[in-house]
Amino acid sequence: MVMLSQDAVRNVIGLIGNVISFGLFLSPVPTFVQIIKKKNAYQLKVLKILAGELAFMAVVVVAVLLAAHTHEKRSLIVGILCIIFGTCMYASPLAVMKLVIQTRSVEYMPFTLSLASFLNGVCWTTYSCLPFDINLFIPNGLGALFGFLQLILYACYFKATPKKDAKAEVELHSARDV
């Protein structure tokens, strides 16, 4: 029997977690592509939001490096920020979950995003237990819980979601073109 060290297990889980996280962070790409293809006002708004997020991250990095001169202080500051923003990231679909319950439709809650959020939360929660890291455990534990709730909600309302009729859409387009 092969015995793996805690560090080896943590490294494997971390690698898997990074792959899942990469997929999770790429999940909005199809939406961005649609916005860019439509060339509407939302495109500019999305680009402003992305630029704002990058600027905020740069300010945080510089502020932490200048304000906190020890590893412990930097870890504390970054840990608190990770708890806050990680929890916000995982909690953001709660508004969509409310919409799913009200409309009895999962049209606005993509399955792949829900699954990726759940898997990401589970993977990083597991990682946070080897050894225990509260800064990773809190947001990712909540993320696993919220992702699980999303998957349950998806299972409950998937069959109730009306399917878009491709033929009807073609007829509508051809009738408008005349």
The token duo for 139 is 């947001």
Residue 90 has pLDDT above 70, yes or no: yes
Q: How far, in Å, CA of 2 to CA of 73, rounded? A: 39
Check pLDDT > 70 for residue 165: no
- Residues 104, 118: Cα–Cα separation, whole Å: 21
Cα–Cα distance for residue pair 62/67, rounded to 1 Å: 8
Between residues 178 and 2, which one has the greater pLDDT? 2
- Map tokens 């050894």 to a residue: 131
Given a cut of 50, whether residue 167 has pLDDT beyond it is no
Predicted local distance difference test score (pLDDT) of residue 150? 93
For 16-32, what is each residue's pLDDT tens digit? 988 988 888 787 777 77
Alpha carbon distance 107, 158 (integer Å): 9
When mean pLDDT is compared across 44-48, 50-54, 82-86, 98-102, the lowest value belongs to 44-48
Residues whose CB is less than 8 angstroms from the CB of residue 29 and which lie 6 or more positions away in sequence, other chains included: none
**Cα distance between residue 38 and residue 59, in whole Å:** 32
- Mean pLDDT (the chain) is 83
Separation CA 153–CA 124 (nearest Å): 22
Structure tokens at 25: 């962070």
CA pair distance 91, 50, nearest whole angstrom:
19
pLDDT at 22: 86
Q: What is the pTM of this model?
A: 0.71
Alpha-carbon radius of gyration of the chain:
21
